[in-house]
């Protein structure tokens, strides 16, 4: 029997794979209160925990499983673990840094359970779990103090330590791949990649998915119309900065809608020696911070990418729901995936 990495690589050669949509958008539908974010072990925590969505993997696991199931039912091939903020760094704001490993291991286990059940029902459509690794709430490249440009709230070694703990938990929970996402500072992403390399070496896991290793995906964030990440890199510079690792895919997510991402995605599609992913927001937020773009409008904009042949992995970020993913999945099934060797072909 082929292992899950082999199955994943086989599927990517055949078709465009569908990533899930937003976790936070779905959690909002449940109108949860403070008590929902607490269990017996957390009742003594004095800080408010409402909004710390990663905690729900421990306190309301049935909700997280329902959301994973909804995305699989909508056509997703890959769901992300509920671990965007599950580093000791991000959880320190709540005084819960010591829960980081548990959050990652349990979130991965929940997603694995749902994915395996879906695969068992339909073995011809295998389902996968991506371990979500967010950027943390601190940046190694920029100062948070305008009066002290040289100050840093975090350093590289601290990021590596936190990411290593997260990776250990995700692997122990059974993820199929690791997804370093919403990258606004490439130095943070480099720390995450370094942590992964160290953990893989310790565990004897090959770094290259072609050698049977657990694949690594990266997804950056272009923050505005300047076409740069928050730390100032263009899309091409972002690609070059992370090309020292044999990635499964590189792509873009968050901050912008599909229409606004078009020129930057084109750069990756034309230059990346990896598979290309994209999962935009449901348009740009309105004055209340909500996302108004419906499944039909978003699907129409993403169809442009599919017609261009730029995509291997397609999903949704902020504001997207199973309804968005269902529309995207249906349309993507009619198109061929971007050839992996496109970057090496003569122009």
**Kindly report the CA angle at 217 between 284 and 251, in degrees rounded to 5?**
35
Question: Which backbone phi and psi does 79 adopt, to 5 degrees?
Answer: -115, 150
Query: What percent of the chain clears pLDDT 70, i.e. is strictly above it?
Result: 97
Split at pLDDT 50, 70, 90, the class of 326 is very high
At residue 224, the pLDDT reads: 79
Report whether pLDDT(347) > 70.
no
Split at pLDDT 50, 70, 90, the class of 2 is low
The per-residue b/e assignment along 297-321, b for 16 or more CB within 10 angstroms, e otherwise, is bbbebbbebbeeebbbbbbbbbbbb
pLDDT per residue over 26-75, tens digit each? 999 999 999 999 999 999 999 999 999 999 999 999 999 999 999 999 99
DSSP 142-182: S-S-TT-TT--SS-HHHHHHHHHHHHHHHHHHT-SEEEEEE
At residue 129, the pLDDT reads: 98
Report whether pLDDT(343) > 60.
no
At residue 344, the pLDDT reads: 40
At residue 342, the pLDDT reads: 45
- The DSSP bridge partners found for residue 277 are 251, 313
The burial of 163, by beta-carbon neighbours within 10 Å (0-12 exposed, 13-18 middle, 19 or more buried), is given as buried
**CA gap 120, 72 in Å, rounded:** 13
Split at pLDDT 50, 70, 90, the class of 140 is confident
pTM of the model: 0.95
At residue 270, the pLDDT reads: 96
Average of per-residue pLDDT across 104-126: 98
At residue 288, the pLDDT reads: 85
At residue 137, the pLDDT reads: 87
**CA gap 251, 256 in Å, rounded:** 13
Split at pLDDT 50, 70, 90, the class of 341 is low
Split at pLDDT 50, 70, 90, the class of 345 is very low
**CA gap 92, 99 in Å, rounded:** 10
* pLDDT mean across residues, the chain: 94
Element (H, E) at 276: strand 275-281
At residue 148, the pLDDT reads: 81
Average of per-residue pLDDT across 243-270: 95
Six-digit token string for 68: 């994973």
HSE-CB of 44 using CA atoms within 13 angstroms? 2
Average of per-residue pLDDT across 209-218: 96
Six-digit token string for 91: 């959880």
End-to-end, the C-alpha distance of the chain in Å comes to 39
pLDDT per residue over 173-193, tens digit each? 999 999 999 999 999 999 999
Measured CA distances, 117 to 23, 121, 123, 233, 264 (Å): 20, 6, 10, 41, 37
Sign of CA dihedral 230, 231, 235, 239: negative
Report whether pLDDT(143) > 90.
no
């Amino acid at each position: 029997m082929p292992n899950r990495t082999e199955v994943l690589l086989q599927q990517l050669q055949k078709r465009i794979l569908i990533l899930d949509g937003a976790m936070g958008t779905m959690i909002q539908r449940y109108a949860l209160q403070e008590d929902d974010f607490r269990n017996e072990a957390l009742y003594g925590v004095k800080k408010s925990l409402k909004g710390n969505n990663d905690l729900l993997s421990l306190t309301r696991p049935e909700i997280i499983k329902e959301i994973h199931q909804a995305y699989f039912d909508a056509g997703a091939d890959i769901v992300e673990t509920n671990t965007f903020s599950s580093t000791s760094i991000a959880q320190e704001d709540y005084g819960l840094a010591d829960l980081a490993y548990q959050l990652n291991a349990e979130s991965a286990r929940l997603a694995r359970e749902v994915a395996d059940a879906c695969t068992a029902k339909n073995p011809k459509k295998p389902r996968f779990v991506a371990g979500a690794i967010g950027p943390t709430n601190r940046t190694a490249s920029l100062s948070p103090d305008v009066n002290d440009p040289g100050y840093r709230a975090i350093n590289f070694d601290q990021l590596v330590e936190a990411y290593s703990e997260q990776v250990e938990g995700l692997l122990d929970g059974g993820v199929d791949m690791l997804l370093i996402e919403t990258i606004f500072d490439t130095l943070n992403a480099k720390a995450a990649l370094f942590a992964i390399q160290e953990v893989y070496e310790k565990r004897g896991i090959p770094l290259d998915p072609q050698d049977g290793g657990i694949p690594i995906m990266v997804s950056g964030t272009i923050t505005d119309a300047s076409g740069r990440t928050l730390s100032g890199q263009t899309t091409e510079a972002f690609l070059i900065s992370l090309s020292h690792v044999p990635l499964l895919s590189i792509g873009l997510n968050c901050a912008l809608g599909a229409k606004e991402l078009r020129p930057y995605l084109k750069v990756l599609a034309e230059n990346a020696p990896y598979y290309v992913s994209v999962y935009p927001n449901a348009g740009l937020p309105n004055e209340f911070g909500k996302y108004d773009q419906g499944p039909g409008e978003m699907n129409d904009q993403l169809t442009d990418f599919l017609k261009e042949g730029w995509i291997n992995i397609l999903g949704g970020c902020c504001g997207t729901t199973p309804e968005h993913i269902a529309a995207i999945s249906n349309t993507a099934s009619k198109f061929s995936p971007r050839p992996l060797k496109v970057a090496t072909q003569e122009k």
